[in-house]
Structure 1
Amino acid sequence: MDQGLEVEQRDNLGVTYPLVVATWPFKEAVRAAWRSANEKASSAVDAVIDGCSACEELRCDGTVGPGGSPDENGETTLDALIMNGTTMEVGAVAGMRFVKDGIKAAKLVMDHTDHTLLVGEMASVFAISMGLSGPTNLSSSESIKKWTNWKQNHCQPNFRKNVFPEIGCGPYHVRDEKFNLCGEADARNCFEALELQSNVVGRHNHDTISMAVIDKWGHIAVGTSTNGATFKIPGRVGDGPIAGSSAYADDEVGACGATGDGDVMMRFLPCYQVVESMRQGMDPQRAASDALSRIARKFPNFVGAVVAVNRNGVHAGACHGWTFQYSIMNSTLDDVEIITVVS
């Protein structure tokens, strides 16, 4: 196992469905999905919708739902995905403005179109036309304050590279020189700001709820919801609405959910990798470790995590670059269990 990569596994062979697993200690979201799957006997898809919707309403960690993660223009937009592991249908929205119900909009795409992904303002138009409320301002006093403070800090940290000015709020231009990044700026302030840029990704500014449910009939679904990376360049879409990256499910095998630096992780489709590795006979622990190791070999400083669950209910979490927690609920537990994985 690569150094810096830790894996945690719990064996649940023989557990009676349903089962809910999700990234991070979002207990209320997991409870909502559990109530839906267990007490209401909802399908896996509907339970995922109920769980992710609860997280959106609670604005989990400020990184899910409206009111968080402003982009460079101070606007909050939403990404979400739902995948049915029985039919392999997917619905997703990305960069959606003016509509607060990201996961419900994704389900509308799956249920009422032959498409997989709708983006931007036209995703909002579609969602509203299908009955969701809007248009709604997705910003909040907290997100505006965060954006204002960021502007006062010369727009640092940000996701720009190889541009001029390095320190400041633009407008930005392509920089030909690949050295002397600080130019005539005060050296101490400049290098401190550049150091901040390298730490732009973290749990509370770059996070996703990724949830998997196995329902009473053994069918599997996954879903994600996020408001993306804080201070992202407007128009940026991370891995949240990308099937195979943030989440993937197949009734025949199991499911995976991911969180972290989506700009890096989406280049490797880690959740697709996890599910396919389990299909080839790997247990969830080895599959999760292998998927992140593939990324770490190319990007040793990336931050991310995956949680894997096979069709028998065996689950495992792996992380790289941070401490990760995931939540699990099944019929053997009185309440949500939080499992910590240390990098």
Structure 2
Amino acid sequence: MKKLLFGLLIACFQYVKCDDPNIPIVITTWNFLNSTTKAWEVLNAGGSALDAVEQGASVCEEQQCDGTVGYGGSPDENGETTLDALIMDGKTMNVGAVGALRQVKNAISVARHILEHSYHSFLVGELATQFAEEMGFPIESLTTPKSKNLWKKWHNEDNCQPNFWMKVTPDPKKYCGPYSKSEKGYHQASTSDVKVDRYNHDTIGMVAIDKNGDVGAGTSTNGAKFKIPGRIGDSPIPGAGAYADNAVGGASATGDGDVMLRFLPSFLAVEEMRRGASPTAAAETAVARIAEHYPDFMGAVVALAKDGRYGAACHGIHQFPFVVHDLTQDKSRTEHVLCS
């Protein structure tokens, strides 16, 4: 115990944050330990919050976390994997985001380049790929044998589900797309239940505070399985997937992105903390706002105050895991919160 306290005193002196013993700190959605550990290594070495978020999320992109982050996961109706990512600087309130990125694996770093090497905030699709290539990113296929077989299984079954079309014909329960068996042209399908869970949840979200008290937040995802090509969920939308403000803290969301982006839950959580709410209460308010309108949605929000306090809230599953690393612990720790 004496050794731990002595270490904390040294850390306080080193980081000039004796009133905030939990600074620096990083919090990550889901049980993404390796990403959190990498982010902490950056912070503990004196790196910036933006560096921590970028490098931490990059680990998940490389390791294809849960099949929902990075290449080789969540093929769309055409069998292609595309990527979305966001990074936000709470010091400058600047944002870099990319959506429907094709043929570039490191989406969070492309987003960082948009933030730092353009006056824009958001680039999408093939022209985002062109920007990435001009910035030196290699162009390579995001399809793997696993994602190709996943798409083939879905595509060749009599009942292609999940499917995100609604109020159109023919009925996808009778035809298997993207082209129907009896119609020429593009297959349009009706509404069906789409399971959004741990393995179809869209996002790694991360919030970090560095030794200077600067806040960074970010996300990376390959989206929902078998989505309509061109779909972008909540992950790259500022205030939806993530939000950061040095004056308050940051937040990140994960789950049913098509629903959650309508409520900007990360922005709402930060604003609730600005009003004096604890991080847990702020996350609960953000989740409850969505559930009021969509009681069956699945999602979660993590919130991190500028003083290092943190919390989370969730809905639609039994419990939600998230990972934290700060000065009080030797390794990244998974915590759980029960969901409403």
CA drift of 1:16 comes to 4.2
Give the match for residue 143 of structure 1: 147
Look up the match of 2:334: 338
Provide the secondary structure at the position in 2 that maps to 1:164: coil
Instruction: Report the alpha carbon displacement of residue 219 of structure 1 after superposing the two structures with TM.
Output: 0.6
Q: Which has the higher contact order (CA 8 A, sep 6+)?
A: 1
* Counterpart residue number, 2:320: 324
Which of the numbers 89, 114, 117 marks the counterpart of 1:112?
117
Of 53, 63, 87 in structure 1, the residue corresponding to residue 92 of structure 2 is 87
Partner Cα separation in structure 2 for residue 206 and residue 109 of structure 1 = 25
Q: What is the rounded CA distance, in whole Å, between the counterparts of 1:300 and 1:69 in structure 2?
A: 25
Q: Deviations over 1:236-293 (max 9, x none)?
A: 0001110000100001101001000010000000000000111111111111111111
Kindly provide the amino acid, as one letter, of the partner of residue 278 in structure 2.
D
* Contiguous gaps of at least 5 residues in structure 1: 1-12, 176-193
- Name 1:38's counterpart in structure 2: 44
Counterpart residue number, 1:183:
none
Q: Does 1:172 align with 2:182?
A: no
One-letter amino acid matched to 1:127: A
Tell me, what secondary structure is at the counterpart of 1:305? Answer: strand
1 CA distance for matches of 2:290 and 2:23?
A: 33
Instruction: Compute the TM-score of the two structures, normalised by the length of structure 1.
Output: 0.87
Q: Which residue of 1 aligns with 2:14?
A: none
How many residue pairs get aligned? The number is: 309
AA partner of residue 225 (structure 2): T
Distance 1:311 1:292, change over 3 A: same
Query: 5+ residue gaps in structure 2?
Result: 1-18, 181-185
| In 2: Cα distance, 1:53 partner to 1:23 partner | 14
Distance in 2 between residues matched to 1:279 and 1:200, nearest whole Å: 34
How far apart, CA to CA, are the structure 2 residues paired with 1:173 and 1:288? 37
Return the offset for 1:161. Answer: 1.3
Percentage of pairs with the same residue: 49
Match of residue 160, structure 1, among 162, 165, 176: 165
For residue 174 of structure 1, report the CA deviation from its aligned partner: 8.2
Contact preservation (8 Å) 1:19, 1:213: yes
Query: Out of 57, 69, 75, which is 2:62 matched to?
Result: 57
Q: Is the 8 A contact 2:165 2:188 kept in 1?
A: no
Once the two structures are TM-superposed, the CA of residue 206 in structure 1 deviates from its matched residue by 2.8
- The answer on whether the counterparts of 2:252 and 2:301 sit within 8 Å (CA) in structure 1 is yes
Measured in 1, the distance between the counterparts of 2:72 and 2:273 equals 37
Partner of 1:163: helix, strand, or coil?
coil
Counterpart-to-counterpart distance in 1, 2:56 and 2:161: 34
Separation in 1, partners of 2:265, 2:200 = 21
